[in-house]
Amino acid sequence: MSTLNTKTSILEIAKSTITMQRDAIANLINLLTDDFANATELIYNSKGRVIITGIGKSAIIANKIVATLNSTGTPSVFMHAADAIHGDLGLILKDDVVICISKSGNTPEIKVLVPLIKNAKNKMIAITGNKDSFLGQQADYVLNAYVEQEACPNNLAPTTSTTAQLVIGDALAVCLLKLRGFSSKDFAKYHPGGALGKRLYLRVNDLSSVNKKPQVSLDASLKEVIIEISEKMLGVTAVTKDSKIVGIITDGDLRRMLSKSDDITHLTAKDIMGSNPKRIDKDAMAVDAKEVMEEFGISQLLVEKDGKYDGVVHLHDLIKEGII
């Protein structure tokens, strides 16, 4: 029966695990050699793709590195080492660079696969914890992912070693990203469906153009103002003159006015409006609208196009698109 029966014990083991992995990652800096730079340049200058292979937990890490490379501008494909020697070797094309991931570098599948890759004359990069292994000796470049021990108390379950592999892969991806001059616009192109991508490509006009466009003149009556705000359902109306914004009236302005005034029959938009409303250009990024709203504690922004009123963007629009 396990003696792990207190919260203190659990937390101590968790801290020890994290500390061990932290130290192992920090030590990777000492293991970097020119092979890392050469491997990065090889991939950067390659006309083909990056094929990443491994087996067991290393295969899972390979999948993640593939995903990271693809999302940052380096075309990559995962190939399971066991499947490769049973037909999937055809994935590798003439100009592809192959990355093999293996802690020991001596697994049976790797020993079968590596000579086949070498025979096809594809360049091969090893990510391994044993640079003197079969894989380490056969690879063109070795990225040393050595760890002293696993976080597993039996030193068996891949834990620290797979973390090290993952960090090496991330370092490789970031170096390639920098070499390619990969920008936030490029990132948005590869992530169009997610909230991260939307932050980088979604513009104010994409949101405001689907909303109704509430507006009244300076001399509009209180009734006209209330009807306009109610019908357009944005909790606000712009006050305009010659198509330019001169003021804003919100639901809150109406409530405050009604609480202060006994006689409201003579009031017009000019008497109620705020005269210096926050506004934003229609071509601004939606995330910029979010920042303005958060800075001033407001729920709506009036939108302009060439200095003229063009609509409203609402806090709910940003929430709906995952910007907030």
Amino acid, res. 81: A
Whole-Å CA distances, 316 to 118, 192, 196, 294, 300:
57, 20, 18, 13, 9
* Per-residue model confidence (pLDDT) at position 245: 95
Place of tokens 């093999």: 100
Contact yes or no for 315/293 (Cβ under 8 A): yes
Tokens of 198: 């939307």
Whole-Å CA distances, 158 to 48, 92, 124, 126, 136:
31, 27, 23, 18, 19
Amino acid, res. 192: P
Using the predicted structure, report yes or no on whether residue 210 has a pLDDT greater than 70. yes
Which range, of 4-8, 87-91, 152-156, averages the lowest pLDDT?
A: 4-8
Q: Measuring CA to CA, which residue among 137, 160, 61, 155 is closest to residue 81? A: 61
Mean per-residue pLDDT for 226-232? 93
Using the predicted structure, report yes or no on whether residue 184 has a pLDDT greater than 70. no
Summary mean pLDDT of the chain? 90
* Per-residue model confidence (pLDDT) at position 90: 87
Mean per-residue pLDDT for 299-319? 92
* Per-residue model confidence (pLDDT) at position 1: 43
Tally of CB atoms within 10 A around 306: 8
Amino acid, res. 91: L
Q: Measuring CA to CA, which residue among 162, 122, 159 is closest to residue 141? A: 122
* Residue 267, Cβ density class (10 Å: 0-12 exposed, 13-18 middle, ≥19 buried): middle
Beta strand spans in the chain (E): 50-54, 76-80, 97-102, 124-128, 141-144, 215-216, 236-241, 244-250, 279-281, 300-305, 308-314
Mean per-residue pLDDT for 305-315? 93
* Per-residue model confidence (pLDDT) at position 312: 94
- Domain locations in the chain as residue ranges: 7-181, 201-320
CATH class in words for 201-320: alpha beta
Give the C-alpha separation, 154 to 130, whole Å. 19
Q: Which residue has the higher pLDDT, 213 or 266?
A: 213
For domain 7-181, the CATH architecture is: 3-Layer(aba) Sandwich (3.40)
* Per-residue model confidence (pLDDT) at position 260: 77
Mean per-residue pLDDT for 286-297? 90
Query: If you count DSSP H runs as helices and E runs as strands, how many of each does the chain have, helices first?
Result: 15, 11
Using the predicted structure, report yes or no on whether residue 192 has a pLDDT greater than 60. no
Those residues with Cβ within 8 angstroms of residue 162's Cβ, 6 or more apart along the chain or in another chain? 57, 58, 60, 61, 103
Using the predicted structure, report yes or no on whether residue 176 has a pLDDT greater than 80. yes
With left for phi above 0 and alpha for psi between -120 and 50, is residue 121 left, alpha or beta? Answer: left
Which range, of 7-16, 120-129, 177-186, 189-198, averages the lowest pLDDT?
A: 189-198
Place of tokens 């907030």: 324
Q: What percent of the chain has pLDDT over 70?
A: 93
- Give pLDDT tens digits for 238-262: 999 999 999 999 988 888 887 777 7
Give the C-alpha separation, 65 to 173, whole Å. 8
Which range, of 84-88, 232-236, 290-294, averages the lowest pLDDT?
A: 84-88
Mean per-residue pLDDT for 62-84? 93
